[in-house]
Amino acid sequence: MNAVVPSRAAPGVPSRDPAWLPRLFWIAAALVLLWPLGVATEFQPWVLLEPDNLKLSAGFIGSFFPPAVEPDFLLMVARETWRTVAIATVGISLALLLALPLTLLSTRALSISALSGRMARGPFWLRQSLRALMIVLRSVPELVWALVFVRVVGLGATAGVLAIALTYGGMLGKVYGEILESGETQPTEALLRNGSGRLQAFFYGLLPQNAAELTSYTVYRWECAIRSSVVLGFVGAGGLGQQLDSSMKMFAGGEIATMLLVFIALVALADRVSGWLRRSLG
């Protein structure tokens, strides 16, 4: 039998990663920084392993089986699921109506005055003002907006729709602008230099090359809006979240399990829609 000769490293190739020492340093630095943050949050995961807590958790999770499948309950879940999807869809549609003009007016690539190299003072301050507005919109969580609108318009889906529209309008406007400015802007600049309007430059210059990414992010935000509409139901904004809150207060584990399965199905559906749209636009 031929002896197995151990392989040797090629001449000039280091036998170990030359960057291991800097990596080790930054890992240690991250741990040093994270430790006081963990202390400040009183993060104590070992509490979950205490016998009493394990017993309570096991009893609560055990109540999930079997899920509730009574016809009247399933009919109610279907109705509230439709309402939840409607809240998310209408909310994200209003957010688009808010985000699109904010994006067109705040994107530097669509600025005619910036073609000379420096944006004029008026457009510059308008752009900064719109960016500040988007910061304000997305800084306030949709849960806080919902609490405000529940006091203004009362309990129901309207508060959830308005809360999602404002928060997601700021998010979409910011990310849309970053996507458009990170792509190739030369065709857009050429259109603007040859007398094209801002909308024409957007539709024929920026949109074609960024359509897939913009669509994927929009569908992702719609998926997030579905989850948000469920959370908003806990503060009286309607939808399936409000029914989930009632079931949790009654410790109805089977009902909770059924509604959680519906949530998983909705997120899976949004993921399939996103994939289909990316393939269609690609």
Q: How many whole angstroms separate alpha carbon 101 and alpha carbon 96?
A: 9
Q: Which of 111, 81, 118 is nearest to 233 (CA)?
A: 81
∠ CA 278-161-155, rounded to 5°? 150
Half-sphere exposure (CA, 13 Å, Cβ side) for 77? 22
Tokens describing residue 108: 């530097």
The answer to whether 230 touches 84, Cβ cutoff 8 Å, is yes
Q: Which pLDDT band, with edges at 50, 70 and 90, does 7 fall under?
A: low
The average pLDDT across 245-251 equals 85
* Predicted local confidence at residue 8, as pLDDT: 55
- In this prediction, residue 266 carries a pLDDT of 84
Residue 27 has pLDDT above 70, yes or no: yes
The predicted pLDDT at position 22 comes to 80
Cα–Cα distance measured from residue 175 to residue 180, given in angstroms and rounded to the nearest whole number: 9
